[in-house]
């Protein structure tokens, strides 16, 4: 039996050796299951000494592997690359900053033994996170679950232990615009959720700012819901209806009373409103079109510079 640990790293030189240490505290547990381990660090175009640190580890321990990208392709691409390289019967994906505690692994395996195909983790608290971010994150999950058929769990982390069939299913989803939380939900399989308290990153800084997260959430919506596309037709029907009522009202009024107001102000307001709505709807369609465009180009999801 082999366990592959996939670790996406972007400027994580301080965390690379630290993560290895923490993971290998499970060595006895691995031995007790007669399970080999491979650790696949995926360097996502880091500008610091991440690659050098992984190489150092590799010299000490041949079970450590490296995939290094030619530039930053994003965490989603790094996960995909790691999964492609993973040979394990089980694959687990963890952040390099130890926000996904390796000490949880024995618990995750308990559920695999119970027969689950995949064991996912979810943080129950968001302590250490700015309150505004938590608020918007919650709203995002609420909205997402309303407009998408795929279940996307609030607080879910990408930290997941999977059996081979699940990994193969994820690899079969070859889309360019990847949104892991959606992909994991989409493939299905029996999944057990394990909860843990939020852990703050040990060293370095988060790669996400508010704007980045907002853009990421919009991408998630475009990738896993087509509900916004229907918005144009709903609004269209609504405005037609309103216009129809208005026409009748104006005709009736001009029959029975003379029409004293030229009414240009109200005209301008209505035109601005309706053209605003039209632009919004066109923008939404543009979002989907641009994603389709990228998908159709069929570019590689990442480019490898070096592999060990």
Residue 163 interacts, among Mg ion, ligand UDP, none and using kind-specific CB cut-offs from 5 to 8 Å, with none
Residue 208 interacts, among ligand UDP, Mg ion, none and using kind-specific CB cut-offs from 5 to 8 Å, with ligand UDP
Taking CB under 6 A as the rule, does residue 220 contact ligand UDP? no
Instruction: Write each residue from 252 to 291 as x if it is in contact with Mg ion (CB under 5 A), else as -, in one continuous string.
Output: ----------------------------------------
- Pick the binder of Mg ion from 55, 56, 201, 291 (CB under 5 A): 201
Per CB under 5 A, contacts with Mg ion among 69-108 are 97, 99
Nearer to ligand UDP, 72 or 278 (CB): 72
Instruction: Write each residue from 48 to 87 as x if it is in contact with ligand UDP (CB under 6 A), else as -, in one continuous string.
Output: ------------------------x-xx--x---------
| Residues in the chain, total | 308
- Pick the binder of ligand UDP from 82, 95, 119, 121 (CB under 6 A): 95
Segment contacting Mg ion (CB under 5 A): 12-20, 162-170, 199-207, 236-244?
Answer: 199-207
Least Cβ distance, residue 74 to ligand UDP (angstroms): 5
């Amino acid at each position: 039996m082999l366990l592959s640990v996939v670790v996406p790293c972007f400027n994580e030189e301080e965390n690379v050796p630290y993560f290895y240490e923490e993971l290998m505290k499970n060595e006895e547990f691995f031995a007790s299951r007669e399970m080999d381990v491979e650790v696949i660090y995926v360097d996502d175009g880091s500008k610091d000494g991440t690659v050098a640190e992984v190489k150092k580890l590799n010299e000490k321990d041949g079970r450590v592997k490296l995939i290094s990208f030619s530039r930053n392709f994003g965490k989603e691409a790094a996960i995909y690359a790691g999964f492609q390289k993973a040979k394990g019967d089980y694959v687990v994906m963890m952040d390099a900053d130890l926000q996904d505690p390796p000490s949880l692994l024995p618990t995750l395996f308990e559920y695999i033994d119970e027969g689950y195909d995949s064991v996912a983790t979810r943080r129950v608290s968001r302590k250490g996170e700015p309150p505004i971010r938590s608020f918007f994150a919650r709203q995002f999950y609420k909205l997402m679950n309303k407009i998408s058929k795929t279940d996307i769990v609030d607080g879910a982390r990408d930290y997941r232990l999977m059996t081979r069939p699940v990994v193969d299913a994820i690899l079969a989803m070859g889309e360019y615009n990847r949104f892991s939380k959606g992909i994991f939900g989409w493939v299905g399989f029996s999944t057990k959720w394990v909860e843990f308290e939020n852990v703050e990153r040990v060293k370095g800084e988060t790669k996400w700012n508010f704007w980045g997260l907002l853009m990421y959430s919009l991408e998630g919506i475009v990738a896993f819901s087509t509900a916004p596309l229907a918005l144009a037709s709903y609004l269209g029907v609504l405005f037609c209806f309103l216009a129809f009522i208005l026409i009748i009202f104006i005709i009736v009024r001009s029959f029975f009373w003379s029409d004293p107001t030229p009414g240009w102000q109200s005209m301008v307001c209505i035109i601005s409103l309706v053209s605003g709505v039209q632009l919004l709807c066109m923008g939404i369609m543009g979002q989907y079109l641009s994603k389709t465009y990228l998908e159709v180009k069929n570019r590689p999801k990442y480019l490898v510079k070096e592999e060990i």
